[in-house]
Chains A and B, each alone.
Chain A
Amino acid sequence: MRTKAHVPYLFLMPAIVLFSVFTVYPIVYSFLLSFQTGAGGNMKYAGLANYRRLLEDSIFWKSLSNTFIILAVQVPVMLFLALVLASMLHSLVRGRAFFRISFFMPAVTALVSYSIIFSLMLAGDGLVNQLLEAVGLKAVPWLSHPVWAKAAIILALTWRWTGYNMMIYLAGMQNIPDSLYEAASIDGAGKIRQFFTITIPQLRPIILLTAILSTIGTLQLFDEPYTLTRGGPSDATLTIWMYLYQTGFRYFDFGYASTLAYVIVVLIAVLSFVQFRITGGKD
């Protein structure tokens, strides 16, 4: 190669400098903080005390299980829905642009309105329950029941991000040759069969990308539980990021909050790595 060796470093310089100052330094600082105990103003080193405390912290484990439960249900449901919608939109001839922008809008919504709207809609006598009762079903205690509260969060998340993923799949579908579908039709396969045997396998790498991104995003879930349910009822929707925020900003236990943060980092890293390996991707 005839390029001079220092060229890549020049291109990387700005990113590295900015990253080191604004990202690495705070991370290192807070990592050190994770070994300290005490409240806001007086911190002192306590070795691994915080980490040991974590192991026995039942609220932490609960928040972990909440996060994973939400993750396990929401991500597959949302991605599948996105696939179905993309598939339908793909075979539509006119009006695509309208649907594209409509489905994407929720992803850019401001948190303030999103939370007010959803909390009003999911109230005991809110819009959603009014609709349910209108068709003869019973009203659901969306935000008061440990299980339904999780469902409410999943509902909100799905509303917000399905369109975003749908757009990605739609783009991917544009690269699947029509000939594949035609051949299948001639062989007598119905649309649904074609969806499962052609569309999904062809989109595999993209599905992997969205799965990893959604997983990371859901593991970092904070906005929805914070505004809709405050982690309740009885910590049923307390996620790990929310617990972290509480620990630092409500209980002023900044050292322990940092500990939580780094345990989360390790978890996410391990999970992403595992996902990657299982699906045979390479970095």
Chain B
Amino acid sequence: MSPKSAMYRLVSRLILVAGAFVSLFPFYWTAVAATNPSGKVFAKPPQLVPGSMFLENLFNLNASIGIFRVLFNSTFVTCVYTLFSLTVCTMAGYAFAKFRFPGRNALFSVFLVSLMVPYHATLIPLFKMMASWEWINTYLALIFPNVAYPFAIFLMRQNLLAMPDAVMEAARIDGVGEWRLFVSIVLPSMRPALAAAAIYLFVYQWNNFLWPLVATSTKEMYTLPVALSSLIGLSRIDYGQVMTGVTIATGPIVAFFLILQRQFISGILGGAIKE
């Protein structure tokens, strides 16, 4: 190996390690803060040694905001949303990618444009509507908005465009029904794209804050971001609790990502190259 490329390897390794460190450090600090009493958050130099208060903080956290119920809410809502949205968006992406019909491009553009509308603007009309249906403070209100998520539709469409039509045509000639075609032939080959969209939808809904804040009114229905935010009153903030909550909030996403990460990469990719 030439000295030049050995040098390159060394330097690139150093940079990568530094980068990983910078990326991970805040999480480490958060986890440590979850094991310490509140005031230690402000310690200078920063407190990096884990303490022993994690269970106590967890207990207090549960007493303050009912963390286990909240965790359930977030998990339930996010999982249902992801499944539901994935289904709807994949079907729509399929229609846009594999069929020709009048108004196709116009309709697709409408979906795309809606991506650009700031959610603050549509918050109030949506709320008003939900209030009149008495959906406020129910899981329905948390799940339904944005099921037809334009970005997911876009992603699925791009990936489906890449799929060769020949297989589908052959199946049709064989007399396979449209729905069966979709389910048995198209979907299995789209696994990477499905994984990518699933991750995207999951992360979006898990971290969603403003809508769940407005749409829920009792603490039994809060999702994690809302519950965590309620810990930040004006004064007398227990940072140990806050950091414990945050540490818990990060767990499921990381787990979900780890499971699907392989699929994720090829899924996003599939949409891009084939343009």
Contacts and interface: CB of A to CB of B under 8 A. Distances in A.
Q: Touching in the complex, A and B, CB below 8 A? A: yes
Interface of A: 1-5, 7-12, 14-16, 18-19, 22-27, 29-30, 33, 84-85, 88-89, 91-92, 98-114, 116-118, 120-121, 125, 127, 130, 159, 163, 167-168, 170-172, 174-175, 190-191, 205-206, 208-209, 216, 220, 241, 244-245, 248-249, 254, 257-258, 261-262, 264-265, 268-269, 272, 281-283
23 contacts: A2-B172, A8-B98, A8-B99, A8-B101, A15-B148, A16-B107, A22-B146, A22-B147, A24-B114, A26-B125, A30-B124, A91-B12, A104-B257, A106-B23, A107-B203, A108-B203, A110-B246, A113-B243, A117-B30, A130-B44, A220-B116, A248-B121, A265-B113
A15 B268 contact: no
A239 to B, nearest CB: 11
B46 A127 contact: yes
A168 B269 CA distance: 7
Q: Rank and list the top 5 A-B pairs by shortest CB-CB distance, nearest first.
A: A261-B121, A15-B92, A8-B99, A26-B122, A29-B125
Interface string B144-168: 1111100001000000000000000
Contacts of A261: 117-118, 120-121
A261 B239 CA distance: 36
B236 interface: no
Nearest to B266: A171
Nearest to A213: B151
Contact of B120 (A91, A118, A209, A241): A241
B118 A101 contact: no
B229 interface: yes
Interface in B210-266: 224-225, 228-229, 232, 239, 242-243, 246, 249-250, 253-254, 257-258, 261, 264-266
Interface residues of B, number: 90
Interface stretch (B13-21, B50-58, B61-69): B13-21
A101 B101 CA distance: 42
Contacts of A88: 12-13, 15-16
B275 interface: yes
Contacts of A30: 121-122, 124-125
A174 B24 CA distance: 25
Contacts of A281: 275
B264 A120 contact: no
Given A3-B99, A91-B12, A23 B125 contact: no
A117 B257 contact: no
B180 interface: no
A170 B265 CA distance: 8
